[in-house]
Amino acid sequence: MADQSLECILLDIKNVIKEAIQEAVDKLPDWCDLRRIELGTARDGEEIRGLTGTGNRVIPVYLDGEASLSFDNPAAPKFDLRWFLYRGIKYRYQRLYLTNPAQSGKLLQLLVGHGDFEVPGALYGMYQNALKPVAVDEGGNISAIMKGLYDSMLKGLAVDELGRIMALIKAYYGTTPVNVQTDESGNLKLNLVGQELAQAIVWPTHNAVFMAYGTAECPAGVETILCSVSGKGHIFGGYVYTIGEEDSRWDAVHLWLDGSVLNSATYYYLDYLNLNDPNINFLNIRMYERYKGEYCAGIAGGSDFNSQFKLGYVAHSGGPATVEVRWVVTYALV
């Protein structure tokens, strides 16, 4: 046996299977028939003749080549029988049509009939010229030890208690493989140093979106902090609305990010420069009713902060002692 070639071993295996099939056929009921079809001649939707009556089950019990089957119409969809070996196809039919390329010496044995019949059998896989049985659990699911090739050695793949594959991912830095890190949830952590892409698209993950709003009486000459949020997040937009008098146009709005003033402007300045487009300036004029003493500055969205943002208001000293200010800011924390 040690001197036999792989072809001889496979031939012996096929002969054993043929003998087992023939032994099983002798015990088949009369409503079941085994058709032996040589595949040396090419066929294109050729009818398998001699079938008796209507059937509802087809099982390829032996196939060492390539063949497909259509039901009731040669133009109907074809079932590749290699995928249904031993398992079979449940389908009510009156006629069967076979398609196969010319394959000298190849054989198809097809079990056809009417009824609920099965062909029990073991599933084998080839390991170094020897057939090895494939294990299954109590539900018939294939049980397997998965392995990956490292250099020229097979290494087992680890799984967790739920059967999910666990892996150590590495990436090459020059010619050296370096571990890829994740956070506590298993999300990949990347430090993007350089790339050949024209741009990198990043989609931030935010928690709930919040709307902060309120009304304040702001004394003249000092900055009143209308809103202060600590953490890391993103500003979606907002506004500051003043009900004062004509000279309130000299009042200023301050937008603080991470301890520094990102933008500071008076209502007069925003109106004078016609800064009414939020794509041009973080603070933009939305209302300028000088003789009514009503003013509104918009806060553009798109600003990110790493530690804190604050919204401040300074009523100028030459105006009324206090000014009523209403404000709204929409933001989210990361």
The pLDDT value recorded for residue 184 is: 79
The pLDDT value recorded for residue 2 is: 45
Domain boundaries, the chain: 6-124, 209-333
The pLDDT value recorded for residue 214 is: 94
Alpha carbons 142 and 325: distance in angstroms, whole number:
70
Helices and strands in the chain, H and E counts = 2, 26
Domains 6-124 and 209-333 are alike in CATH topology: yes
The pLDDT value recorded for residue 20 is: 57
Q: Please answer whether residues 97 and 48 qualify as being in contact, where contact means their C-beta atoms are separated by less than 8 angstroms.
A: yes
CATH classification code of 6-124 = 2.60.120
Q: Which fold has domain 209-333?
A: Jelly Rolls (2.60.120)
The pLDDT value recorded for residue 254 is: 94
Which residue has 């059967």 as its token pair?
163
Alpha carbons 245 and 243: distance in angstroms, whole number:
7
Which residues of the chain fall below pLDDT 70? 1-31, 52-53, 114-133, 190-205
The pLDDT value recorded for residue 19 is: 60
Per-residue pLDDT tens for 227-280? 999 999 999 999 999 988 888 999 999 999 999 998 899 999 999 999 999 888
Looking from the CA of 133 toward its CB, the CA atoms found within 13 Å total 4
